[in-house]
Structure 1
């Protein structure tokens, strides 16, 4: 069975979140095993691991915040046999999600924040377009 672009995007969104959580667990594990932090002393928002650690924590949390809506729409299209509507932009959604995370990991300088916002906006617009199409409003 060949994977459609919608299925690839769905699996890619989950895989990307999984990769980020592995990186986060690795970073935290190194701090714990190195004696720099107690295993139960990490703040959920990453504020106690400034710099890359905090950006990684937020990038991972942001992926998880957006995954349910993205996954729900892609799954609906797949189950309803409507991937012809989602396939054309599915890999674009995945690329925008990955780009948003990568930019988040690199820097919080104003230009990077704008790039992160732009990639997030692309995801929101794609999702809104799909919802309008799948609901029959377009």
Structure 2
């Protein structure tokens, strides 16, 4: 059985979220088990652990903040058998999301932030395009 690009993008997005949260859990569990921090003493922004932990917390947050519109549109396409709307740009959107998060983990330089913004704007533009196409399809 093969899966369409829309389904692959949705599973890929969810897998990425799981990877990021697993990294957070491992970092925090290590800090707790080695006695560096109490289990109830973590700052939500992650900066109390390390700069990387802070970037990881933000990259993870960026993903779950975007999931309602990205994942939601992918799910609408799958649920309504309208993947013809999303299939063409589903994997490029996932690539933009993965690259945006990866850059976030690596650097907060001005160039890195600019590239991240471009990648995020690309995702927004794709979702706006899909929303328009769904509106035309479903509202006539």
- Same fold, TM exceeding 0.5? yes
After the TM superposition, which residues 29-44 of structure 1 pair with which residues of structure 2 at under 5 Å, given as runs? 29-44=29-44
Aligned residues: 138
Give the whole-Å Cα distance in 1 for the aligned partners of 2:107 and 2:122. 20
Two-structure CA RMSD over aligned residues (Å): 1.3
SS at match of 1:48: coil
Give the whole-Å Cα distance in 2 for the aligned partners of 1:34 and 1:117. 37
Q: What is the TM-score when the length of structure 1 is the normalising length? A: 0.95
SS at match of 2:27: helix
Gaps of at least 5 residues in structure 2 are none
Please state how far the C-alpha of 1:50 moved relative to its aligned partner.
3.3
Please state how far the C-alpha of 1:72 moved relative to its aligned partner.
1.0
Which residue is equivalent to 2:118? 118
Give the whole-Å Cα distance in 2 for the aligned partners of 1:42 and 1:68. 26
Q: Which moved more, 1:100-109 or 1:45-54?
A: 45-54
After the TM superposition, which residues 1-138 of structure 1 pair with which residues of structure 2 at under 5 Å, given as runs? 1-136=1-136
> Once superposed, which parts of structure 1, at least 4 consecutive aligned residues long, lie more than 4 Å away?
none
